[in-house]
Amino acid sequence: MPPKRTPTASRAAGGSKRNANANSKANPPPAAAAAAAAPVSRKPAAVKRSREDDRDAPAHSTEENLLAGKINGGGGKGKGKASARVAEEDEEEDQDDAEEFEIDTGSSNGDLDDFLDREALESPADDEDEEDDDDDDEEGYNTSDIEAMENASGDDEQDDDDVDDTSSIASSSIAPSTVPDSNLTLDQLIAKHTYKPDENMDIYVSQATGGRPLVGDATTGKFSNSKEGTGRLVPSKFVKGALMREYDEIEAGYGSESSTEENTNTIGNVPIEWYDDLPHIGYDVSGRKIMRPAKGDELDKFLATVEDPDSWQVSLPPGVCSPDIAYKLLQKQVQLSDKELDIIRRLQNAENPDADFDPYQETIEWFTGKGNEMTMPLSAAPEPKRRFVPSKWEHKKVMKIVKAIREGRIVPNKPVVEKPRVYGIWSNDDMENPPHAMYMPAPQIPPPRTVESYNPPEEYLYDEGEKREWEQQEKEDRKLDFMPQKHDALRHVPGYENFVQERFERCLDLYLAPRTRKVKLNIDPESLVPKLPSPKELRPFPTACAVQYRHPANSRVRCVSVDARGEWVASGSEDGIVRVWDLGNGREVWRWNLKGGPVQAVEWSPNKEECILSAAVAGRIYLLAPLALISPHVAQTTLTHLNTAFSSSSASTTNIASGKPVVPDAKWVRPSEDERDRGMMIIIEVQGTPKQVTWHRKGDYFATVAVDATNKSVLIHQLSKHQTQSPFKRTKGAVQRVAFHPHKPHFFVATQRYVRIYDLVGQQLLKTLMTGLKWISSMDIHPLGDNLIVGSYDKKLCWFDLDLSTKPYKTLR
């Protein structure tokens, strides 16, 4: 007997086989109650045999009982069979069955059968044992058996359901108490297995009525004790003559379904509002009316909440938790216990609702782990011969190859012979074009359009007028070089008569039209923008004072300017004196006392050929020239430039009072001879106090800004003609600064917030730069004229790129 055989497996296999047999032989009527009577099929003969197998009986007893019940339920089908004769017949039949199966399986699984046979020979058991073995063997390996089991499973399940109530209860609660009672033997099992449902009931009934109680009698070799207990045997109502055991009402535990519902409303899933007008709210199981529970008014509710500390647990809103249905159907308040609340909480947290459930309980190793190792191989069959004998077939194959080699049909390691390459003798057309640096593929023909379709939509087709027009047009003038045609099917499309012509023209195009490779520059535009140097690279900063130009202690310097050659420094101070200094060592070399209040601005002319210094005091602009300091040539040029207009003007140049070309905006005055001796060449009398003087690059024009002169705040003076003009009739806002563009006739005017660029020739506004500053204080233009920087009193610096937008390119703080 193979020692390793799980009882469940044997039971299932045996059971299923029995079922299959039963199904094949008979179709017994289902009877749930008959299950209870099943254990009566006991044979006294089996008792003796059972003692031999006593050793494994205790461990398997419950299982076997269960098994027995099941088999009886399935196989017995309510037919009580108890006679030994029947059992013997059964045994025979069983053997037949086994033989049948042997025949079945023999074809499919020879090895196994051999193995089993050998095993059977080895075991010294008697026939019944052997049969039993066969039984067991068959279930594990016979596929047809499994199929049969599966076929029978449908019936089986029904039967299982029938017996479930009793068997499960028996196994869980009653069986353990009767475990020691194990006079259950294998013979009994076999006997039970082999009873036939279509055995006549009479025997059974006669035995039952013979006053010999079959069930519950220990001496009869009880098959199962699961049905023992407090149940009373009563004749069955449904089966004639059968006995039925009645049980007491079982107190349902918490786990039972009915534990929570005491008095179920059975109205089903209908709105409870339908019962609003009625005194009852539904019916219980037995059809009695459930009366509406007494309901307190709002005041009661409130009082309840005040008095009852547990009131918050009452009447959870419907839909929140499970008491919802009972609440609605029973129309009463449900008090949730702590335990229930705990369950609710667990459900909300997606935990196991059972508080006692231990998700981390220790694994019970039934079949693995220490002590449970499988010491035996799955199969004790010896290695088949073919595993260690060389294959004859392979030998044949190899010998075939050897023979071929000997005969020379196969030459091992034969060098691969290259086939001769085929090439054209007369041309290189078949050779691949080597990839050339200047290789240019022909331009692709544009993809066909809808109008070129053989079946274009109607709107593409030409009407009569269009057709005429198309025909009248010259070939070169036609929009389309064909007339759209509509064909029902592709096979109706005629040959295209211009095909050759078009191919030829295309070839001509490709041949004649020069093609050039278009090199696309892939340059990141950002990389073209010059990077701003980091402030550290702008060294050397003027970090130390090199030269001081020391003024008298009581005067403040208002303005400074360095001349175009970088030799002299002019400064204007509040005591009204313009001084000229040696740039290199700070020696004062010349001075003019303008006697007009603080000097507001000094500015040298940017023309290197001349040496003109403009200085602004209140109401006057002086043009000065330190003639003694400059070379005769420069002095001559300067004087010529300054005095030409005096000599050409009709007014006397010597008369100061009248020696002025009368211009509306300013008066050009020639100073006295002594003053001219000192280098004070021209005085221009203007309105207001000019705060800024700025020169045009060429040194002929200069502009002044006098903020307090209202609409004449900006004046442009021309030296060579001694003319002054006010370019703006009215200025928007107070002009802070003006500047000339280095080479274009543009004029920059900075008001408090904006910088406007005017075209002096076209007399129009070109651009308005939005500085975003609060109050512009200064402005300068790059000598190349592309960039403008604007400073403000709020410590910001705007940098405009004039080629770009009107917004600052960068704002520095």
Partner 1 sequence: MSDPIAPTTNPAAADKVSINLYTRNPAHAIPQSTYLIPADWRRFQLSELINKVLHTTSGDSAESAAPTPFDFIIDGELLRTTLDNWVKSRKNGDFESVINVEYIQSLLPPKQLESFPQDDWVSAVSIQRPGYILMSSYLSHAKVIPMTQAGASATEDASITMNLPSSLGATCCSWLSPSTQNENILLGAGGVDRQAHIFRIPSLLDMAAATTTTTITPPQEIMTLHLHTGPISSITPSRNYEHVLTSSWDGLLGIFSLPTPSNPLEESHDLPAEPKSYLPGQNSKKKRKLAGAGAGGGDAQVGGWRKQPDMVMRGHTARIGGAIWDKEDRNKVWSAAWDGSVRGWEADLGFNSVLKQGPSDKAALCIDQMTGSGTLATGHMDRTVCLWDTREATSLISLTLQTASPVPSLRAHPTSPYTLATGTYSGTLQIWDVRSPKQALFSVKRQQKEGKGERVLGIDWNGEVLVAGGEDGEVSVWSARGE
User: Which residues within the stretch 679-718 sit at the binding site for partner 1 (CB under 8 A)?
Assistant: 679
**Residue carrying the six token digits 């709107």:** 459
Nearest to 706 by CA among 684, 736, 678: 736
Nearer to partner 1, 296 or 586 (CB): 586
**Residue carrying the six token digits 């009931």:** 201
Q: Which strand (E) or helix (H) includes residue 527? A: helix 525-528
Q: How far apart, in Å, do the first and last CA atoms of the chain sit? A: 101
The residues pairing with 764 across neighbouring beta strands, listed in sequence order, are: 759
Nearer to partner 1, 360 or 541 (CB): 541
What are the tokens at 237? 């109502």
Please identify which residue in 515, 587, 795, 807 interacts with partner 1, judged by CB under 8 A.
587
What are the tokens at 456? 């274009």
Rounded least distance, CB 587 to partner 1, Å: 6
Largest CA distance in the chain: 171
Nearer to partner 1, 538 or 761 (CB): 538
Please identify which residue in 399, 628, 804, 812 interacts with partner 1, judged by CB under 8 A.
628
Contact stretch for partner 1 (CB under 8 A) within 267-275, 398-406, 455-463, 578-586? 578-586
Q: Coil, helix or strand for 776?
A: strand
Rounded least distance, CB 749 to partner 1, Å: 34
What are the tokens at 45? 């003969």
Nearer to partner 1, 576 or 679 (CB): 679
Contact stretch for partner 1 (CB under 8 A) within 48-56, 307-315, 547-555, 802-810? 547-555
2 neighbors 141 (Cβ within 8 angstroms) = no
**Residue carrying the six token digits 């006593």:** 54
Nearer to partner 1, 528 or 544 (CB): 544
Please identify which residue in 445, 544, 657, 761 interacts with partner 1, judged by CB under 8 A.
544
If you count DSSP H runs as helices and E runs as strands, how many of each does the chain have, helices first?
A: 19, 25
Give the binding-site size for partner 1 (rule: CB under 8 A). Answer: 30
CA dist., res. 56 & res. 176, Å (int)? 16
Please identify which residue in 5, 301, 676, 767 interacts with partner 1, judged by CB under 8 A.
676
Nearer to partner 1, 636 or 711 (CB): 636
Contact flag: residue 656 with partner 1 (CB under 8 A):
no
Rounded least distance, CB 679 to partner 1, Å: 8
CA dist., res. 434 & res. 593, Å (int)? 88
Rounded least distance, CB 592 to partner 1, Å: 13
CA dist., res. 148 & res. 169, Å (int)? 29
Rounded least distance, CB 745 to partner 1, Å: 31
Please identify which residue in 442, 510, 532, 589 interacts with partner 1, judged by CB under 8 A.
589
Rounded least distance, CB 637 to partner 1, Å: 10
Contact flag: residue 631 with partner 1 (CB under 8 A):
yes
Please identify which residue in 252, 347, 547, 812 interacts with partner 1, judged by CB under 8 A.
547
Q: Which strand (E) or helix (H) includes residue 589? A: strand 588-593
Q: From its phi and psi, is residue 319 left (phi > 0), alpha (psi between -120 and 50) or beta?
A: left
The residues pairing with 232 across neighbouring beta strands, listed in sequence order, are: 246
Please identify which residue in 30, 296, 443, 566 interacts with partner 1, judged by CB under 8 A.
566
Handedness of CA 312, 313, 314, 315 (dihedral sign): positive
Distances 239 to 37, 92, 235, 306 between C-alpha atoms, Å: 11, 30, 8, 62
Contact flag: residue 500 with partner 1 (CB under 8 A):
no
Please identify which residue in 632, 650, 658, 664 interacts with partner 1, judged by CB under 8 A.
632
Rounded least distance, CB 658 to partner 1, Å: 20
Nearer to partner 1, 461 or 629 (CB): 629
Please identify which residue in 375, 433, 527, 585 interacts with partner 1, judged by CB under 8 A.
585
Contact flag: residue 451 with partner 1 (CB under 8 A):
no
Contact flag: residue 570 with partner 1 (CB under 8 A):
no
CA dist., res. 84 & res. 91, Å (int)? 10
Contact flag: residue 624 with partner 1 (CB under 8 A):
no
b/e map 92-110, b = 16+ CB within 10 Å: eebbebbeebbebbeeeee
E strand spans, 97-210: none
Binding site for partner 1 (CB under 8 A): 540, 544, 546-548, 550, 566-567, 582, 584-587, 589, 627-636, 639, 673-674, 676-677, 679
